[in-house]
């Protein structure tokens, strides 16, 4: 309880108007899924994209590929760290070697730890492919800094945010009509297998020079509108939340193992469940079980239906569509996540 109160007091402080100054770290690299995607899926053949109205209705540039009415969590974390503009998506960094020194966002809607996750939606950039994209960026940074040693020193000072795993449940384990994983593994086994695969991928990131790595636990997936509707429930689906918490418990332990086994590693676990357990009505959010926009019931099920007006009172909603937070909810989650980052900033 005391820890939760501390988090919410810090959130209240961080939600004061942002003042951009010198970034607290030289660079920020972002990996994950649609919670962090800022345009990497726009040109993919996939249903998992958000480059159309009403997404972006409150974003200055309109729809950009963010699964939100405005900024997403990654945008706000970058702001809290002092960056004056969003970290660019990998899809837009083809030629600007100066820009990539600030960092790159590789996140992709429908992506998972497992390569097959999300396949029924079309193309997506799995975590393994995001790491391959990062390797090309590391090569470009090495070329620009003129030595592997200089690049390694630079990259070791960056913060790396990794928020992935939700789709390995939503678009894999909880979808037995498309995936065999729920037959092959019980919930405990699946959580273990996921964390084992995650561990191997994180070691690749470490071998590419990452040292300060923040791993986001999964939120209460059983409480998102899409899962409530999918199960025909009146509230949170406890079975889903229990399954997801098994992954979180394993991830917390994995952080300890990685810090023990990898020299100079600073992995931290961000407890998203704890961050989201406060009372959102304190910040004016009173609708927590329904989406703000009209969601599609056919293709891209659970995402906003194209070109239909969303709710007017968006600041009162926790969810913009069936899966993703509104801008205000994303800012709250990002502020809570930021309270975990000071050990990586020192």
Query: Running DSSP on this structure, what letter comes out for residue 39?
Result: S
**Per the structure, how many domains does the chain have?**
1
pLDDT of residue 298: 87
pLDDT of residue 339: 95
Give me the active site residues, please. Answer: 34, 321, 324
Q: Please, what is the Cα angle at 213 between 64 and 342, to 5 degrees?
A: 95
User: If you average pLDDT over every residue of the chain, what do you get?
Assistant: 94
Q: Cα-flanking dihedrals φ and ψ of residue 78, to 5°? A: -60, -40
Residue in the structure block whose two tokens are 């689906």: 237
Peptide bond into 54 cis (omega under 30): yes
Contacts 24+ apart (CB under 8 A), 231-237: 235/289
pLDDT of residue 22: 86
Q: Report percent pLDDT > 70 for the chain.
A: 94
pLDDT digits (tens, 9 = 90+) for 147-157: 999 999 999 99
Q: How far apart are CA 96 and CA 92, in angstroms?
A: 9
CA distances to 59, 252, 290 from 38, in Å: 12, 27, 23
Within a domain: 43 = yes
Within a domain: 298 = no
Q: Cα-flanking dihedrals φ and ψ of residue 283, to 5°? A: -105, 15
CATH number of domain containing 222: 3.40.50.1110
Range of the domain at 110: 2-280+328-345
pLDDT digits (tens, 9 = 90+) for 193-224: 999 999 999 999 999 999 999 999 999 999 99
pLDDT digits (tens, 9 = 90+) for 289-308: 999 999 999 888 999 999 99
Within a domain: 196 = yes
pLDDT of residue 1: 43
Within a domain: 268 = yes
pLDDT of residue 11: 59
**How much is the pTM?**
0.95
Residue in the structure block whose two tokens are 């702001």: 79
Enumerate residue ranges in the chain where pLDDT < 70: 1-21, 95
**Three-state DSSP class for residue 206:** helix
Q: How far apart are CA 217 and CA 46, in angstroms?
A: 26
Within a domain: 164 = yes
Q: What is the number of alpha carbons within 13 Å of residue 77 lying toward its C-beta?
A: 31
Within a domain: 321 = no
Q: How far apart are CA 285 and CA 312, in angstroms?
A: 13
Q: Please, what is the Cα angle at 41 between 36 and 45, to 5 degrees?
A: 150
Within a domain: 41 = yes
Within a domain: 290 = no
């Amino acid at each position: 309880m005391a820890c939760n109160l501390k988090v919410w007091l810090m959130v209240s402080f961080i939600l004061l108007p942002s003042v951009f100054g010198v970034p607290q770290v030289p660079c920020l690299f972002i990996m994950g899924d649609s919670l962090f995607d800022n345009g990497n899926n726009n040109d993919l053949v996939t249903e998992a994209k958000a480059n159309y109205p009403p997404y972006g209705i409150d974003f200055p540039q309109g729809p950009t590929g963010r699964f939100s009415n405005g900024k997403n969590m990654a945008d706000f974390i970058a702001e809290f760290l002092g960056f004056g503009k969003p970290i660019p998506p990998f899809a837009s960094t083809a030629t600007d070697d100066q820009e990539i020194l600030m960092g790159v966002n590789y996140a992709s809607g429908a992506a998972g730890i497992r390569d097959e996750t999300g396949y029924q939606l079309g193309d997506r950039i799995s975590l393994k492919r995001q790491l391959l994209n990062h390797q090309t960026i590391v090569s470009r940074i090495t070329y620009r800094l003129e030595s592997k040693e200089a690049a390694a020193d630079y990259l070791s000072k960056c913060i790396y945010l990794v928020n992935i795993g939700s789709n390995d449940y939503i678009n894999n384990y909880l979808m037995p009509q498309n995936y065999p994983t729920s037959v092959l593994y019980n919930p405990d086994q699946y959580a273990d297998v996921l964390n084992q695969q995650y561990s191997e991928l994180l070691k690749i990131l470490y071998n590419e020079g990452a040292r300060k790595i923040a791993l986001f636990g999964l939120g209460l997936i059983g409480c998102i509108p899409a899962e409530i509707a999918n199960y025909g429930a009146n509230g949170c689906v406890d079975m889903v939340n229990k399954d997801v918490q098994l992954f979180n418990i394993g991830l917390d332990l994995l952080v300890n193992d990685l810090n023990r086994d990898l020299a100079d590693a600073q992995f931290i676990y961000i407890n998203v469940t704890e961050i989201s357990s406060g009372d959102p009505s304190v910040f004016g959010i009173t609708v927590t079980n329904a989406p703000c926009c009209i969601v599609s019931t056919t293709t891209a099920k659970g995402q906003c239906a194209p070109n239909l007006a969303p709710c007017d009172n968006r600041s009162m909603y926790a969810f913009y569509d069936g899966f993703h937070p509104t801008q205000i909810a994303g800012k709250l989650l990002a502020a809570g996540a930021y309270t975990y980052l000071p050990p990586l900033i020192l």
